[in-house]
Amino acid sequence: MPKETLTQQEEAIMQCVWEREECTVRDVLNALPEPKPPYTTLASIMKVIENKGFLHHKLFGNVKVYRPAISLDQYKKRSLKSLLKNYFGGSMEEVLSYMLKDEQVRPQELEELRELIAKHENNKKDGTAS
């Protein structure tokens, strides 16, 4: 698992790669919104992302075909852990409290969270919690 973090620009590029699972610099360039970076700049950024451990490539002739080195799910878990640790002292309760105080959770989402918690608790009792 890579130890470095991604910049916003690098995350946008990784989103393109995760969506395609396999792509070239040109594929990513075509998928990015305007204003698009120059091809050579994007190729350099993708090399940086690869050096950070988030991408790897295979050569087909002289064309590099990139694949993610970690899944989107792995990246989400890592990012959430980092957010919890760095901004909320590792406490999920603090995150939820913050979001509820700031009214960022709609009533429907709150109900869905209650159902998820109840389901998790029931699974825990049955010994099937994941």
Expressed as residue numbers, the domain containing 95 is: 91-130
Can you tell me the mean pLDDT for 44-61?
97
| pLDDT at site 128 | 65
> Looking at the chain, how many residues does it have?
130
| pLDDT at site 3 | 82
Q: Please report, for residues 93, 100, 107, the alpha-carbon distance to residue 69 in angstroms, rounded to integers and kept in the order given.
A: 32, 35, 38
Can you tell me the mean pLDDT for 89-98?
88
**What tokens appear for 52 in the block?**
């950070």
Domain with residue 11: its CATH number is 1.10.10.10
Residues 117 and 127 occupy one common structural domain: yes
Residues 44 and 95 occupy one common structural domain: no
Cβ contact 4:52 at 8 Å: yes
Residues 78 and 19 occupy one common structural domain: yes
How are the residues of the chain apportioned to helix, strand and coil, as percentages rounded to the nearest 5? 60, 10, 30
Evaluate if residue 26 carries a pLDDT over 70: yes
The share of the chain scoring above pLDDT 90, in percent, equals 70
Give per-residue pLDDT as tens, 54-74: 999 999 999 999 999 999 999
Nearest Cα residue to 20 out of 79, 66, 86: 66
Q: Quickly state the pLDDT bin for 110 (edges 50, 70, 90).
A: confident
Give per-residue pLDDT as tens, 7-25: 999 999 999 999 999 999 9
